[in-house]
Structure 1
Amino acid sequence: MKAIQFDQYGEPAKVLVVRNCAVPAPGNGEVRIRIVASPVNPSDLLFVRGLYAGVQPTFPSFIGFEGVGIIDILGPQVQGFASGQRVAAINSNGGNWAEYTVLPTDSLIPVPDDLSDEQVASFVINPASAIVMVNRILAVPEGEWLLQSAAGSELGRMIIRLAKHYGIRTINVVHHPRSVAELEQLGADAVIVSTEGPIDEQVRKIVGPQGVKYAIDPVVGETGTQMYQALSDDGRMLVYGSLTGEPIRVGVDPRFILAGRRILEVFWLGYWLNTHSDAEKKDLFNEIIALMREGVLTTLASLKYSLDEIEAAVKMAETPGRKGKVLLVPQKKA
């Protein structure tokens, strides 16, 4: 079978290669899946660069954390699944950028027929992150302001729609003015451009001198620092990525941190899923299905690439202003 691998950390376009590998066989409690589509997510590219916390590759390493596929073969002692069944596949160690993969049944999510392959391919990482951060961890009340950076990303757009659905107001940070009108059409209550002045000052012009109580940031660096400084007393900020690879410099006046009881937290979806019950995860996945059907958590039309087009695919995934999620489709011809 064809599969994408890498032998060392580095820039994805340079170190990712297509190889012919043995088709895996399922063991006890496992199934083999024929992959239909797998997205190129920021977490995948961080993994290749050696910047993804929590997962250490064994070289040569497979890659691809989520996707959609058809169960091909059942291993021994598998119950509750059938050959030919379509599932969302969570591959916590990577391996979905391939024609086939083997997974334990607790990594599979049965999905309804009315959701397209393009939507199911990105069923978990972005939708689950949006719901868990906004509704479970921060639990932002209706009518409150939520500040987020990287608002033009797939997840950022999803958070805008989710917040609108639940009556939460959003302030959205973008890097370029060209994104402003598009995000406002999507439902953003306010959009600020990071190059037009300090984020915290722009935020306070919108909400008042107190600042905002809730913030979400995947950028860190100077952006994360300024967002933290935009927090009100008892404010909370979740960091869920490191797009710049730079630290948040919370080297502000200690009185701002301590007297205001401003909390800085890190969010990693894998940890949340591993530390919550099957019932809680089932509720989450059912909520995702319902919100996908309502059009709240839909992913933009996909840009499809074959495995042989991996270099072009990862370059497109990091192209500024890209419209749509990049999908690897193993059966597609280059």
Structure 2
Amino acid sequence: MKSFAELESTCSLSFDQSGPFYHLWTPEDHPMIFSNTDLFRAGMSIMAICALLVPQARIITFELMSNHLHITAAGSEIIIMRMFGLFKKYLSRYLKHLGLAVDLSGFVPQLRVINSLQDLRNVITYNNRNGYVVNSDYTPFSYPWGANSYYFNPSAKCSFKESVEKLFRNDRRDLIRSHDSDQLSPIVTVDGYACPMSFCDIALGERMFRCASHYFREVSRNIESQKKIAEAIGERIFYSDDELFSIVLSISNEKYKQPRPSLLPSQAKRDMAIHLHNEYNAGNKQIMRMLKLDLSVVNALFPERY
């Protein structure tokens, strides 16, 4: 078994040899784009076509949300922006073909260069957390609209290897309303859309982590790093109850020397509620659950969330 230092050195070498890396995102306050499952499926397949048309831009991971997206990619800034430009163009054509009046003028990407191995780890996990922290029905391994579910997940990779379904030339023409992808080979699909294993360099993304357990710790416990990324790019970040409770427990222990937050004095609970609201975007019902406060008390503190 390799030592910690050896594993970390291997990760660092992969980072140094494979960059530059970028985080691309679009505004989270954009009007809804993917309003149903069929549109998400189309978005996934259009992303695949664009990635394969611009292979110099290697997508490490990405997630489509209902109104915005995140992409972590290796390649030059120009190449990555070219790939996104194709995605926006083809998506716009597809939506117009369906008769959907979705204005994509505000669907404008921002790009940030990733400066270190830990920065890349943080961005990958930020991307892969996005869907499940917004929707509690999912986990980082089950949110379907991105590459997240394939990270260190042998069963998901098996579904890709065993799939016999593909996007053929005419399927691609229907999606992008163009012959631009005619030269591409058929694209493997799973569950009715292009499988991320067929167009993302997930193996490269996995090499940035020492092992599967290291990745899982980063996804589930590195909360402060996720908060910093959200602040840097102007997004709100949401936390699951488990994540928020770990924050509450830490504050309760460190600031009040009380290992049971529910036993804090009333004023301490109010102070912590304000901190959770302002610093961690906690919802009123989350604060109620974390601190065992009456919901009417929390609603009085934060009526805009009521």
Q: TM-score normalized by structure 1? A: 0.21
Structure with the higher fraction of residues in strand conformation: 1
Looking at secondary structure, tell me which structure has more helix per residue: 2
Normalised to the residue count of structure 2, the TM-score between the two structures is 0.22
